[in-house]
Each structure stands twice: as structure tokens, then as C-alpha cells.
Amino acid sequence: MKRFIQFIIDFLRSGFSGGILFWAWMLFLSFFIMLWGYGEFVQIRDGMIVTGLNDQVSWGFYLANFVFMVGVAAAAVTVVFPAYVYKHHELHRIVVLGEMLAIAAVVMCLLFVTAHMGRPDRLWHIFPVIGIFNWPHAMLTWDVIVLTGYLVLNIIGGFYYLYKKYADTELNKTFYLSVVYIAIVWALSIHTVTAFLINTMPARPMWFHSMMPIKFITTAFAAGPSLIIIVFLLVRRFTPLKIADEAFHMLSQIIVWCLGIALFLTLSEIVTELYPSTEHSLGLQYLMFGHHGLNTLVPFFWTAMALMIGGFILLLIPKVRKNLLVLPFICLAVFIGIYIEKGMGLMLPGVTPTPIGEFAEYTPSNIEFMVVGGIWAIGFFVLTVLIKGAIGVLLGDVRYTESESRTVRGEQARAATT
Amino acid sequence: MSNFQLFGSIISTCLLGAASIASAAGETVQQDNTCFESRMGLSQVQQREIQPGVMNVKCSPTTGGVLFWGDPFDGTIPMGDMSVEADYSHEEAVVKPREPQIDRNKLLTICSMACHNGEYVPYPENKLARPLKMHKDIVPNSMQLKHGKGAIWCLDCHHAATRTKLIDHYGNEISFNQPQKLCGKCHGQVYRSWRNGIHGKRIGMWQKGGKKRWWTCTECHNPHDVEQGNRNSGFAQLIPEPAPVLPKGMSNADHERGHGEQAH
Amino acid sequence: MSKQKTKEKDANGATRRDFLRKAGTYTAASLSGAAMLLSDPKPAKATANVSWAEHFQKNYRLMTDEEKQEAVERLEKRYSEEFGKKVKVGSEPALEGVLFGYALNIQKCIGCRRCVKACVAENNQSRGEKQQIEWIRVLRMEKGKFSAEDRDVHGYPEDYGIQVGGNAYKPAGVVLEGQHYYEPDQVPEKDAFYLPMQCMQCEKPPCVKVCPVRTTYRDPDGIVVIDYNWCIGCRMCIGACPYWARRFNWGEPDLPAEEMNPDTHYLGNRPRMKGVVEKCTFCVQRTRKGRWTGCVEVCPVGARKLGNLLDPESDVRKVLASKKVFRLRADLNTYPKFFYFMD
């Protein structure tokens, strides 16, 4: 037990140590986290009237980010799956970083959901035993289960591995691998359930199709690895942890295939909806072409399409895909493209027009920007700490020693040089 | 000569009343807390407190229409007997008397005594349509009565001699408070529906056996103008209540007005 | 009229530029953020008085009769203080042998919106420019103008309503699009009809199914109710409702004390708090005491009927028996208890 507490302390110490760049980055994030605090404070004090939401568009920026981040969380599987199922050696070495990313992403998801709630003070109403948990009827309760489950699985899987490495003891393979394999399936479930959350409502025809879960997963497995590639390249640039090129090649290949399928599904959706042009396609038409002068979403949609299609075409070219100087920029484009398409580009036309045909245009308020920006900052904050801590362990810099003189040796010196 | 005199005296007697009708129609809640129930100008209610803190009616500040009855039975009288057995027989049924509304400017009683007394205006010999110089505020063109498509005329409904009453098929008097007995002569289907409670309006208790205030025909319809004109409806036109507040972020609802090809 | 002005005032101008501008002001606003955090400690009066016990009470459905009584008395005390008048909070349970049904004569409706405003007067919704909640929405449908002249030249008449223009290869897009914000001088208009919508009190309410905390449920008399004190404000129900019947209290409701209707019900028109969902309850505070709803009483043309579906003698059953009846979105199998009919 003492050893475990020591592990936590050492892990955090490693996570919070770094040079001037590190502290500048953390300070930068803290600034946005403060804004989040302020935004949440105002929202809880005055109610959600401080957002741009209304009865016509009652789901907006928060849920859009939520849906997108669930995908990113699930995408940790793109590191874990090849590592364990296909025994991809290079990914296997850094698999724990994927799990850290998943933890940070799920934390963000939970914060987005809390921000979306009108009465966060009554959150306890949903807890089983003390509240009422409308399971299995309410899809939201499924989402609660899979998200917290996924968080727990990743914490157990990731930190068990790190702790064993830290203590330099043998992994219990059966235990560890079963956690890993459950987490792989679970990762699919979180995004599937999130899709079910919105596609089980015939009142919202744009979402009401069975393609939603697979579309969610493919876009997630394109956006997620894009972020992972960027993070890994940063890790390789700023820490001594070695990540082989093959790991990036593997991930970029996953992006190509998943992005390709995602684009194909989008095309199928567009043809299916627009050919007959029933009233059910009004949401998609509004997104793509606007509606009687309500055109806010139109440029966003086409930008997203351009980014995704452009990214896909570039990634198809092996020379480009394997160029690690160009790759992060393509990844960024894909990430942003999917963020638009799957975030606001999915949420807003889904609820517009209303089931009784009213169109209303929605713009997030400043408070919403503060809260969302702040949650992203929290996500990056958590991710930075977790990754730095994990790298410390992976490199062997953070190691358990019987004596109290623990070592975070080299770490400080190395970080200072960056 | 005598004709001219008669005409003049009728005009002088009735002008006052006609003028006050016109002003009554224009009155809204602002002036003397008068609201209207269904027919603007002909179903007026005076707003007053019936219990401490409870008003008899709440009214729309924009149109003067009644929005709420503190007491749904305020100012009503028992509906009275009806010739046909109906649902209300085992329920307490009340109506608001129409006579005070119709006669609120005393036009009806004054005219029936001062004009239609058989001397100033002789009792008509038959019910045939003829041009009228009077009552143009009610019936602009008496040769084109907006009711019955030419098949009926004033005296098919109004008592030829007793102008404060309506008349049934047998020449019997019908009170203005019970117009359904008259209207039901022709509109049997609607009359049945009305008795069943699926045509027309009732307020009060929905429960079986509960007390109900029944709305009579002329509380909603103007019998002199029921034919569907520009409004495409048997009701007189009303000023609508204001539209909802636009959703946050919207400055107008112009997009609602475009259709079809202009959609994109 | 002043309506026009208020609309313009309401404008926030949702444009792309706003996205960018907001992102810019974001930084500026943040600097003042910390300062503002310390100032303006204005807690809404309504929330300030909420007792500890109210925060931790159970879901209404699961309360014992004594607990219900306690909860109701607690509220009566709080509301009476807040609104400066004797407020009654009823807790009448569902009536035995009653299933409420509603029938609306779509042929009669003149689109005057008086039901909308009467509902607000009765049910204590938030009002005013800042946050207006109306449970009834009246749609104006254009009937269309038909003329044969243009047909051979431009295809079918490209006019409003039923004929929307285009042809098989060039779909026009929208058929029978309703107008929510119509404001003619007079109603009814010749070339329009009107479709009022509110909660349909479905037998299989999708909103109830998706509620994660079961704060909304269907009582045996067919009324779908909400325990406002249990709602967590997740708005799943708003997403799931195919009739757009549910509204959310985005901020603290704006209910002037003098306009407040003191005759309330726990599950109905008692004053709500911010962050919870509300909707039409067929005026549960009235109907469970035998009285017609506000909208039924106020309709100047008698287009609205309410009664007991289990009683063959009731208005509604007679409508079902003798008129042409339809329900909205019957394809969704929600089985509304709100019927539309024509003569």
C-alpha cells in the first residue's frame, strides 16, 4: 500500500516537472481553466440562459463537443488494438500513452455533459440507490455506464501497467490482458451507445438511421489517431521517449481507411436523403445549402468536407503519408474537419428544424466558448500530466526504491533543455 | 310628405343608438376594463373583483379578449327548458343571457317601441325581401343578406310585430336568450352536435353531472353575416394575439415566408 | 406596432462573423472574468428561499402520502411568501376511471392564439422578452393559390403552400411548411388554416422513455407529468418529443407576482425553477378537480374539447364516434390522446 501511495506521488511529481516551456504551457492552460470556472459559475448562478441555446436548439456546443470527445476517447483503441491483437511491436511499447489519452478524453466528456445539464446540483438523482437510475430504458443511463466503465477500465489498465513497471514486478498477464481486451470492446461500446443516444429518436430524422454508430466509429478512428499522431510527434520531439516511425505509419494507415469509410458513409447519407428529398432531409439540406437565407452552417460544412476529402486524398499517397513533417498538418486538417462535421455539423442540423418545422439559428455565447475552451484546456492539462508521468515510468526515470531517496533523475535536466 | 317625416323621425331616434354601437365595437380593455368573450363588441364583460384578489375575468392586454374566467358561471341564468331531451338534462346548464348584450344600447327596446310599433313603421305584409334604408350597420345590403343564400330574409327570424323577440316556424316568439331554438330550425345537424357538446363551446366543469355554461349560437356567430366571405370561416375576424418572441439569435422570421423553389 | 421593434431588439444577428468575433472577445472577457467572479452576488429570490429539505426530497412518484403532504406544504409556504398571496399547491391524484382525451376541431380554429396566452395566464409560465415560455404553438398553413396560366411555361405554379413548384426531377423541397410567427391584422385569413400543437399526452411517450431519472412519467389518467424538483435538466425529453411540446427554463422564470395564478398543482402549474423542463399537463390543477382546461374554456370558436375517453357520453368520445379524426405522427406509435377532427 505504501508503495502504491509512493507511486502516485512519484507519478505526479514526474508529471508536474518540466522546464520553462512546460510551465508556460501549463500556465497557458490554467488561464483557460480559470475561464471555465468563471463560465460555469455564471451558468450555475443565472441558469443556461447565458448560453445561446433555446427551446428550438436545446442541444448545442456542449453536446457537440461531448459527442466528438467520446470518439477521441474511443480512439485509444487504435493504439491498443494493433498492439495487442496484431502484436504491433512499436505500438505495444507506447500503448499506455493511448490509455492516458483515453482517460483525459473521458474526463472531458464528463465535464461537457455536466456543462450541458440544467441542474448539475441534482446530479445525484441519477445515481443508483440514492436516486433513480432509469436503466435499461433510458439510453442516457447506458451512456453513463459505458463512459464511467471505460474510464475505470483505462485507469486500471493504464496504471496497473505503469505501477508494475514502477515497482519492477511481474505483470499478472491474465488479469492485465483481460482488462485490455475488455477495454477494446468497451471502447467500441462507448461510441456506439453515444450514437444510440441520438439516433433512437425518430423525432429527429437526420439522426434517425442505423448508420449512425458505424459513422461515429469511423470518424472517431480518423479523428482520434490524428490527435494521437500529433501528440506522439510532440512526445518524440520534447521527451527522450523513442517512438518508431512504424507506429506513425500504422496510425496514419488507420486514419486513411477510417476516413475513407467515413466519407463513403457521408456520401451514402447525402444521396439517400437528397434523392427523394422528403421533409426528413430538411436538416441535411439546411446544413449543406441553408434555408431561405439561414446560412450559418453552410461554410462550416463545406470547409469540413474540403478538409476531410483533401486530407484523405493526401493520405492516400504513401509518400505524403510517410512524411512525418507533413503528416501532423494533414492530421490537424482531418481533426478539425471531423470536429466540425461531427460536432456542430451533426448536432445543429439534427435539431433544426424542430420536429414541428421551425428553423432557428444558434450561435454559442461567450460563456459557452469559455466553458468549452476551458474543458479542452482541462483535457490538455490532464493529458500533459498523465503523459509526462507515464513517460517518466516508461523511461525508467520514475522507479520505486526501497530507500526514501526516490529518483526523478535526469528528468528535470532533460526537460530544462527543451 | 308623411313618408318623409316618418323617415326623419326614425333617423333621429336611431342615430344615437347606431353611433353608440359603432363606438362599442371599437372599445377595448383600456377604456373601462371591458373585455369580450367570443364576439368583439357583442359579448362584452366588465372586469371586476368577485372575491378578494380574484377577478371575474382576466383579459388579454393586446386584444381585450377574455383569457381566464375566475368564475365561469358569473352572470349566467339557467338555460331553461328545451324541446328535445339532451345531455344537459341531468347536469346544471346555464347560459349568459344575450338580451343585455344585444340591447346594451337600448336600441332594440327603443326601436321596437318608437319605430316598429305598427304606426311609424307599419307591420310588414309579408316576409319578402325588399331594400331597407335602415340598419345598414347590421345588414349593409338587405337584398343580399349574408345568410341563407337568398332563401331567407329578416322576418324569417325576427318577429314582425314584436321586435324584441325572434320567431319560430309556428309564429311563436323566441327569446334572444335562446337563439338555438331558432337556428336549430334549419341547422339541425349542427344543433344536434351542439346539444352533444361537440359543436360550440361550453365552460365550467367537464365532468359528467358537472355544472356547465353553454355558449349559445349568437355568442360566437353573427347571424347577419355567417356566409364565408374573405375570411373563409363562419366567424367574424379577430385581431390575433401577438406572435411568440423570436428564438434567441433570430432577428426576424422572414425565412418562414419563402416556399418551394426559393428554398435554397 | 411595437412588436416589430421588439423583434429587432431581440436580434443577436447569428452570423458567421459572430463566431469569429466571439472568439476574439473571449480573451477580453476572460480578463474581467476574475473581477466579475467576486462581484454581482445576486442569487435569485426564488432559489434563496428553497429549503434544505426541498433539495433533498424524494421523487414525487415514490413519496408516501405524508411525504407528499409535507412537500406540498413546504412549497405553499415558500410560494406564498415569494408572491405575497395565499398560494395553494394541490396534490390531487389521478382520477379513478378517467382517461383524459382532447379533441381539436382543426376546421374551426381561426388561429387567434388566445389559447396560447390563456395557457400562460393559467399555468404560470415565464413571460416577457427575455424568456418567454408558451406551451401551445399555433402553426399557420397556407392553402396555396392555384392558377393554371403558368403551368406550361414554368411547370406548376410556383406559389405558396400546397403547390410548391418544381416537378419530379426538381423537387421543391418543402411541402406544407408551417409559419410560427404569422401576424396578420385579422384572423382567420381566407387562404390559410391553423394547426395548434401542444403536449399530446402520448400513451407511449418517448419523453418518458428517455428520461434518465424518471422525473417525467405518465399518470393513470393519461397525463404525462413532471416532478420539477427531480428534473436534472438534461433535455433528453426535449430531443425525443416528436411534437416539440417541451420547454426548458433557461433562466429563473420571470413571473410577476400580480399575474401569478395561486391555484396550482404540484405536478402542474406551480412556479418552476431554472434548469427544469415543463410542458402542457392538460391543466392538471383544473381537470383533476373537474374543470375544463384554460385553453378549452378560452377558445372563442369552441374548437377545443376535453373529456373522459372512458365515458362514452363524453364530448371527446362523441367526437371520436361521429367525426373524422386523426392524430399527428401516427407513424411513430406514440398513441397520442390528443385528436384533431373536422366537421
Interacting residues of A305 by C-beta distance below 8 A, sequence separation 6+: A266, A337, A341
Residue of B nearest to C98 (CA): B207
- Indicate yes or no: CB of C164 within 8 angstroms of CB of B259: yes
- Indicate yes or no: CB of B249 within 8 angstroms of CB of A52: yes
How far apart are alpha carbons B181 and B167 in whole angstroms? 9
C14 domain-assigned = no
| pLDDT over 60 (residue B155) | yes
* Long-range own/partner contacts, residues C142-149 (CB < 8 A, 24 or more apart): C142/B259, C142/C179, C142/C191, C142/C192, C143/C191, C143/C192, C143/C193, C144/C191, C145/C191
Interacting residues of B10 by C-beta distance below 8 A, sequence separation 6+: B115, B120, B121, B134
Q: What's the one-letter identity of residue C182?
A: Y
Taking one residue from A and the other from C, the number of pairs with CB-CB distance under 8 angstroms is 192
Residue C144: band (very low, low, confident or very high) from pLDDT cuts 50, 70, 90: low
SS3 per residue for C146-183: CCCCCHHHHCCCCCCCCCCCCECCECCCCCCCCECCCC
- Please tell me if residue A139 touches chain C, with a CB cutoff of 8 Å: yes
Q: What is the pLDDT of residue B86?
A: 56
- Indicate yes or no: CB of B249 within 8 angstroms of CB of A361: yes
Co-location of C76 and C155 in the same domain: no
How far apart are alpha carbons C168 and B100 in whole angstroms? 60
- Residues in chain B with CB shorter than 8 Å from the CB of C314 are 206, 208
Q: What is the pLDDT of residue C261?
A: 95
3-state class (DSSP) for residue A199: helix
Mean pLDDT (chain A) is: 93
- Indicate yes or no: CB of C248 within 8 angstroms of CB of A48: yes
Co-location of C105 and C160 in the same domain: no
How far apart are alpha carbons C117 and C298 in whole angstroms? 9
| pLDDT over 70 (residue A192) | yes
Residue of B nearest to C143 (CA): B232
Domain of B14 in residue numbering reads as 2-229
Domain of C305 in residue numbering reads as 52-136+198-342
- CA-nearest of C25, C124, C142, C29 to C83 is C124
Residue of A nearest to B257 (CA): A292
How far apart are alpha carbons A48 and A43 in whole angstroms? 6
- Please tell me if residue B193 touches chain C, with a CB cutoff of 8 Å: yes
pLDDT digits (tens, 9 = 90+) for A111-123: 999 999 999 999 9
Residue with cell 421593434: C5
| pLDDT over 80 (residue C145) | no
A51 domain-assigned = no
C19 domain-assigned = no
Residue B29: band (very low, low, confident or very high) from pLDDT cuts 50, 70, 90: very low
The Cα angle at residue A359 between residues A354 and A361, in degrees rounded to 5: 115
How far apart are alpha carbons C288 and C262 in whole angstroms? 16
Task: Give the number of domains in chain C.
Answer: 2
ipTM: 0.91
Other chains touching C, judged by 3 or more CB pairs under 8 Å: A, B
User: Phi/psi at A370 (nearest 5 deg)?
Assistant: -60, -45
Residue of A nearest to B256 (CA): A292
pLDDT digits (tens, 9 = 90+) for C41-87: 334 454 556 778 888 999 999 999 999 999 999 999 999 999 999 99
Task: Give the number of domains in chain A.
Answer: 1
Instruction: List the single residue in C14, C197, C233 with the smallest CB-CB distance to A117.
Output: C233
Q: What is the pLDDT of residue B51?
A: 86
Q: Are C87 and C262 in contact (CB under 8 A)?
A: yes
Question: What is the nearest CA distance from B156 to chain C, expressed in angstroms?
Answer: 26
What is the arithmetic mean of pLDDT over C163-189? 72
Co-location of C115 and C174 in the same domain: no
pLDDT digits (tens, 9 = 90+) for A326-335: 999 999 999 9
Co-location of C224 and C273 in the same domain: yes
Co-location of C168 and C269 in the same domain: no
- Indicate yes or no: CB of B215 within 8 angstroms of CB of C302: yes
Return the CATH number at A158: 1.20.1630
Can you spell out the DSSP letters for C2-50? HHHHHHHHH-----HHHHHHHHHHHHHHHHHHHHHHHS-----HHHHT-
Taking one residue from A and the other from B, the number of pairs with CB-CB distance under 8 angstroms is 38
Q: Which site among C175, C214, C218, C226 would you substitute to test the A interface, given the most A Cβ atoms closer than 10 Å to its Cβ?
A: C214
- CA-nearest of C280, C253, C276 to C197 is C280
B55 domain-assigned = yes
Other chains touching A, judged by 3 or more CB pairs under 8 Å: B, C
Q: Are C228 and C164 in contact (CB under 8 A)?
A: no
Co-location of C334 and C225 in the same domain: yes
| pLDDT over 60 (residue B260) | no
- Please tell me if residue A338 touches chain B, with a CB cutoff of 8 Å: no
How far apart are alpha carbons A182 and A81 in whole angstroms? 11
Q: What is the pLDDT of residue C141?
A: 85
Helix axes A139-167, A2-15, angle to 10 degrees: 100
Co-location of C219 and C328 in the same domain: yes
Co-location of C179 and C275 in the same domain: no
- Residues in chain A with CB shorter than 8 Å from the CB of B250 are 360-361
Q: Are A247 and A232 in contact (CB under 8 A)?
A: yes
Residue B259: band (very low, low, confident or very high) from pLDDT cuts 50, 70, 90: low
Co-location of C294 and C313 in the same domain: yes
- Residues in chain B with CB shorter than 8 Å from the CB of C8 are 251-252
Co-location of C223 and C286 in the same domain: yes
Domain of A78 in residue numbering reads as 71-110+133-354+379-402
Q: From residue C147, give the alpha-carbon distance in Å to each of B182, C158, C160, C167.
A: 41, 10, 12, 16
C260 domain-assigned = yes
Task: Give the number of domains in chain B.
Answer: 1
pLDDT digits (tens, 9 = 90+) for A23-43: 999 999 999 999 999 999 999
| pLDDT over 80 (residue C243) | yes
The percentage of residues in chain C with a pLDDT greater than 70, rounded to a whole number, is 76
C96 domain-assigned = yes
- Alpha helices by DSSP H, listed for A168-279, are 173-199, 212-238, 245-274
Question: What is the nearest CA distance from A362 to chain B, expressed in angstroms?
Answer: 6
Return the CATH number at C332: 3.30.70.20
Co-location of C120 and C247 in the same domain: yes
Question: What is the nearest CA distance from C153 to chain A, expressed in angstroms?
Answer: 24
* Long-range own/partner contacts, residues A136-142 (CB < 8 A, 24 or more apart): A137/C209, A137/C210, A138/C209, A138/C210, A138/C211, A138/C212, A138/C214, A138/C236, A139/A193, A139/A196, A139/A197, A139/A200, A139/C210, A139/C236, A140/A197, A140/C210, A140/C212, A140/C234, A140/C236, A141/C212, A142/A193, A142/A196, A142/A197
Residue of A nearest to C168 (CA): A276
Q: Are A150 and A75 in contact (CB under 8 A)?
A: no
The segment with the largest mean pLDDT, out of A383-392, B101-110, C19-28, is: A383-392
Q: Which site among B245, B246, B248, B262 would you substitute to test the A interface, given the most A Cβ atoms closer than 10 Å to its Cβ?
A: B248
Q: Are B215 and C301 in contact (CB under 8 A)?
A: no
Q: Pull the grid cell for residue A404.
A: 526514501
Residue of B nearest to C123 (CA): B68
What is the arithmetic mean of pLDDT over C171-176? 49
Q: Are A225 and A252 in contact (CB under 8 A)?
A: yes
- Residues in chain B with CB shorter than 8 Å from the CB of A291 are 255, 263
Q: Which residues of C142-158 are buried (b: 16+ CB within 10 A; e: fewer)?
A: bbbeeeeeeeeeebbbb
Q: Pull the grid cell for residue A400.
A: 520505486
Co-location of C252 and C332 in the same domain: yes
pLDDT digits (tens, 9 = 90+) for B132-153: 888 888 888 888 888 988 889 9
Q: What is the pLDDT of residue C169?
A: 66
- Indicate yes or no: CB of B247 within 8 angstroms of CB of A57: yes
- Please tell me if residue A364 touches chain C, with a CB cutoff of 8 Å: yes
Q: Are C197 and C189 in contact (CB under 8 A)?
A: no
A242 domain-assigned = yes
The percentage of residues in chain C with a pLDDT greater than 90, rounded to a whole number, is 70
- Residues in chain A with CB shorter than 8 Å from the CB of B261 are none
C311 domain-assigned = yes
Instruction: List the single residue in B247, B250, B255 with the smallest CB-CB distance to A291.
Output: B255
Instruction: List the single residue in C166, C287, C323 with the smallest CB-CB distance to B260.
Output: C166
- Indicate yes or no: CB of A48 within 8 angstroms of CB of C233: yes
pLDDT digits (tens, 9 = 90+) for B53-89: 788 999 999 999 999 999 999 999 988 766 554 555 6
How far apart are alpha carbons B13 and A141 in whole angstroms? 78
How far apart are alpha carbons C205 and C277 in whole angstroms? 15
Residue C343: band (very low, low, confident or very high) from pLDDT cuts 50, 70, 90: confident
| pLDDT over 70 (residue A410) | no
Q: Are A390 and A162 in contact (CB under 8 A)?
A: yes
Q: What's the one-letter identity of residue B264?
A: H
Residue with cell 374548437: C303
- Please tell me if residue B255 touches chain A, with a CB cutoff of 8 Å: yes
Torsion of CA B127, B128, B130, B136, to 10 degrees: 40
Q: Which residues of C235-274 are buried (b: 16+ CB within 10 A; e: fewer)?
A: bbbbbbbbbbbbbbbbbbbebeeeebbbbbbbbbbbbbbb
Q: What is the pLDDT of residue B88?
A: 59
